[in-house]
Amino acid sequence: MPLRMQSNIHPSLKPIALDCREWNEHAGLSGKYERFTAAVQGYTDAPGPMHAKTGLPLDSLAHYYDLASCNAFLRGDRPMLSHTLQRAASLRTLLLSWDGMYSHMRQDLGNWSREFKYGMRAAGAAMFSWWGRAKICARLFIEIAEKDQRINTMREMRRIKRGTSDAFLIGLFPQAFNIETDFTAPKTLVPSYQALLEHWQSEDEATFTIVMQEAADFNISRSFNPCTPGGDLYQPSMPGKQTARLP
């Protein structure tokens, strides 16, 4: 019997438990995992430079593990969650590196930034203390954001323009990894994220718990169901946390 962790999920997440289970059951019956894996393997086995479309099945495979992680978390299956979440985070770091490569190749284009997605991809490695990969992902994300700022000079054109998770991570990564940046979000960081940015290194457990909980509550309050139509526009990157619905 799999080890079960104590269920302590946010009330707003409970309604998606059935959706996640049904999505995973359908994925299993329809052979999604096998198709996505075979497609990625086919591209990697092909001779010559990697095909530009390799990222498509890679993204689909990562999304499969995203939803599998949500399902495992909501069922309280700790061993499965550990397995699927690490797979999801690892694939997301690969996708960020893939897109970062193309962004670097085209310094004249500022359309690579994707709100919420890229930031969560960059944060995944740090969540598992994969510090080498985490620093690389942090640099990539900041470089993409800086290019967005440099090229998309009109505020309404900016791809990363809200004072939410992306702006928070671009404030956090330079502190954590000693990375210099001139990025400035067009909108002020929301208060809950600003408080966390100021106290994330606090050794006062009570203070950290308060600011972390407030930031988590804000994130959950701006969520939608990733299993419903449109839900995969912003795929989940943390177990039990639905993905951010933009303001």
Q: Look at 33-42, 111-120, 139-148, 204-213 and tell me which has the smallest mean pLDDT.
A: 111-120
Q: Which residue has the higher pLDDT, 157 or 175?
A: 175
CA neighbor of 91 nearest in space, from 42, 146, 128: 128
The total of other beta-carbon atoms located within 10 Å of residue 58's CB is 20
pLDDT (tens digit, 9 = 90+) per residue, 213-236? 999 989 888 765 555 544 443 333
pLDDT (tens digit, 9 = 90+) per residue, 94-140? 999 999 998 888 888 877 778 888 999 999 999 999 999 999 999 99
Q: Which residue has the tokens 């303001």?
A: 247
Q: Look at 12-16, 165-169, 201-205, 212-216 and tell me which has the smallest mean pLDDT.
A: 12-16
pLDDT (tens digit, 9 = 90+) per residue, 170-209? 999 999 999 999 999 899 999 999 999 999 999 999 999 9
Average pLDDT, the chain: 85
State how far the Cα of 57 lies from the Cα of 76, in Å rounded to an integer.
Answer: 28
State residue 1's pLDDT score: 42
Q: Which residues contact 146 (CB under 8 A, 6 or more apart)?
A: 181, 182, 183
Question: What is the domain partition of the chain in residue ranges?
Answer: 11-233
Identity of residue 109: L
State residue 62's pLDDT score: 95
Average pLDDT (89-97) is 95
Alpha helices in the chain (DSSP H): 16-30, 32-45, 55-75, 78-105, 117-127, 131-151, 165-177, 191-199, 205-221
pLDDT at 4 over 80: no
